[in-house]
Amino acid sequence: MPMPRSLLPLVSWALLVLLSGFSVCSADSAPYGMRISCGAREDIHTPPTNTLWYKDFAYTGGTPANASRPSFISPLLHTLRYFPVSDGPENCYTIGGVPVGHYSVRIFFGLVNQTNFDDEPLFDISVQGTQISSLQPGWTNKDDQSFAEAIVFLSNGTVSICFHSTGHGDPSILAIEVLQIDDRAYSFGPGWGQGTIQRTVSRLSCGTTSPKFGVDYSGDQWGGDRFWDAIATFIAGSDQELSTEQAIKAASSAPNFYPEGLYQTAIVGTSNHPELEYIASVDSNKNYSIWLHFAEIDSLITGAGQRVFDILINGNVMFQDVDIVKLSGDQYTALVMNTTVSVSGRTLTITLQPKAGSVSLINGIEVLEIIAAESRTSSAEVSALKTLKTALELPVRLGWNGDPCVPQQHPWSGADCQYNSTSNSWEIDGLRLDNQGLRGSLPTEISMLQHLQSINLSGNSIQGTIPSSFGNITSLQILDLSYNDFNGSIPGSLGQLTSLKKLYLNGNQLSGKVPAALGGRLLHGASFNFTDNAGLCGIPGLPTCGPHLSSGAKVGIAFGSCLAFLLLLLCTVCWYKRQQNVLLAQKIAAREAPYAKARTHFSRDIQMARHHNHHNNQNNSHGGAMTTAATESGPILLS
């Protein structure tokens, strides 16, 4: 049943999926597995293996839609979730309750089944802050590019998977899988584990034309559910397929859990062309972990020494005198070999050169790119930024989901990052949020961004006072809060900012005395602008501050004014009485004396008084409180 829109949390834009209770995660029995059908309203089981996909309907962010599958290898799911640009450039699924271990994380892409949608959105994908995939034009025509996959070590109980817009259509996600694999799977030697991520480049089952998933192969669950693309020939005409129905020994033994079917087919050389050569196009200047699979499935090769070959990668001999039967111990027995290579060009060539006996043979090839996992942003600073996001009512279009600084290709807009090699984390050294329609008020927690050097919040509608905690952002050099609605006085703590070079507070409603320590600093070379405020005073260029009145003095002045007013009233009454007497006398003397003339005269006196008061007021307008008594006397007289 669809959930009423009003029940959905409005602000939480990162999707938080906490479904840990659903899955079995006992170390020996079954690996942890989480599969999410994006945009689904119901949990779904897909054929042929009745795989369970959890719905994500209760989570906010993005828009659910009907999907069309870009490739036949995508799971049979009918919905997706896409992230329009108005949702911000970064959108994430954060899945909690994940036991410590190694995981295969896979994301399937979808296409929105509506005519007005971009045919082929291009976007980037990151796992734990490390970018693992960047969709390339034409991906919808390539089966093995309808998903991104990486092997990740998760130690933290959560996995965060983010989609980053690149301005080419809306990221659209069909499904997400987080499948635990054996703890030593794909361990390639020094450098493996925490701190590295292995991105799947290609995974080939040789000598077959039917691509398969691990589940189709009835592979062991501890191997994940890898997709094995089919390759029948490396170079048509110069090699051939070989297959067997025989059972394969040791195909699935820790830590190498591979489906038996992988070893039941192979590509072998021909008598004219005994060598085998596989060429893959890769990204240059990357390190690759290469996994090669062998099993002697030719019934004619019955013992050691009958098939021996060297393995070269980009021309360098990586393995010498490989004898499958000798190394695996028997015929029909799996052999896994792995090596790591650094590739400078754009091709990766794997060559099997026969040394003795028969032609070369190979059953499977895996190429994984080794990516150094990104360091994260210090958690104190992340939480400070999240507090700011809420307090300043940051517009949704800015995003601010996932990690602020990584992947480095997609930092949060408005946050400047620097890497600190001592703490091995990223820090925020600048905030550029000028003219972003921010509201609300600045929280004290802004000072948790201890490495800020520059802040520009100019041209927003931020209210309230300037937090005094600014004073302990000791590295701060530039503070631009101009053109906002800040009120109250400038906190004295700003005087502690010894590195301050620019301070722009113009165009606010600030009042009161500029703190002496700050004033002193500004007068020594820093640039500042305090104009256009409600009444700042106390440094050269601003009015001098009026004497500070105690409340006793204020009472005194009020009392004095009342007394003066009463006196004035008394005089007026006396004068009026006198005038009446004069008029009476004149009336008696000459009957037609003009009554109005006296009134005109009276009125001119008042106008003069008003004019005088107005002038006074203008003179003191920068000074503040002192003119009040004088201005008020005008209206009192008039009414």
Residues at the interface with ligand NAG (CB under 6 A): 65-66, 68, 113, 156, 158, 160, 184, 187-189, 255-256, 285-287, 336, 338, 342, 372, 379, 420, 422-423, 427, 434-435, 447, 451, 456, 458-459, 463-464, 468-469, 471-472, 478, 480, 487-488, 493, 502, 506-507, 529, 531-532
Task: Tell the smallest beta-carbon distance from residue 637 to ligand NAG (Å).
Answer: 31
DSSP-assigned letters across all residues of 343-397: E-SSEEEEEEEEEEES--EE-EEEEEEEEEPPPPBPHHHHHHHHHHHHHTT--GG
Q: Which is nearer to ligand NAG, 527 or 572 (CB)?
A: 527
Task: Tell the smallest beta-carbon distance from residue 312 to ligand NAG (Å).
Answer: 16
Q: Which is nearer to ligand NAG, 225 or 427 (CB)?
A: 427
Question: Would you report the helix, strand and coil content of the chain in percent, each value rounded to 5?
Answer: 25, 35, 45
CA distance 626 to 252: 90
Q: Which element (helix H / strand E) includes 236?
A: none
Contact 302, 217 (CB under 8 A): no
Task: Tell the smallest beta-carbon distance from residue 300 to ligand NAG (Å).
Answer: 29
Task: Tell the smallest beta-carbon distance from residue 157 to ligand NAG (Å).
Answer: 7
Q: What are phi and psi of 73, to 5 degrees?
A: -85, -10
Q: Which is nearer to ligand NAG, 274 or 364 (CB)?
A: 364
Q: Is the peptide bond before 443 cis (omega within 30 degrees of 0)?
A: no
Contact 401, 157 (CB under 8 A): no
Q: Which is nearer to ligand NAG, 158 or 166 (CB)?
A: 158
Task: Tell the smallest beta-carbon distance from residue 213 to ligand NAG (Å).
Answer: 21
Q: Which is nearer to ligand NAG, 383 or 628 (CB)?
A: 383
Residue nearest to ligand NAG (CB): 68
Contact 557, 633 (CB under 8 A): no
- Structure tokens, 445: 């927690």
Task: Tell the smallest beta-carbon distance from residue 240 to ligand NAG (Å).
Answer: 29
Contact 13, 401 (CB under 8 A): yes
Task: Tell the smallest beta-carbon distance from residue 167 to ligand NAG (Å).
Answer: 22
Tokens 């990586």 correspond to what residue? Answer: 318
Task: Tell the smallest beta-carbon distance from residue 531 to ligand NAG (Å).
Answer: 5
Q: Which is nearer to ligand NAG, 81 or 301 (CB)?
A: 81
Judging by DSSP bridges, how do beta strands 79-82 and 172-181 pair with one another? antiparallel
Task: Tell the smallest beta-carbon distance from residue 394 to ligand NAG (Å).
Answer: 17
Q: Which is nearer to ligand NAG, 251 or 268 (CB)?
A: 251
Which pairs count as long-range contacts for 272-276, CB under 8 Å and 24+ apart, including other chains?
A: 272/238, 273/235, 273/238, 273/239, 274/354, 274/358, 274/359, 274/360, 275/351, 275/352, 275/353, 275/354, 275/359, 275/360, 276/234, 276/239, 276/351, 276/352, 276/359, 276/360, 276/361, 276/362
Q: Which is nearer to ligand NAG, 359 or 405 (CB)?
A: 405
Q: Which is nearer to ligand NAG, 296 or 480 (CB)?
A: 480
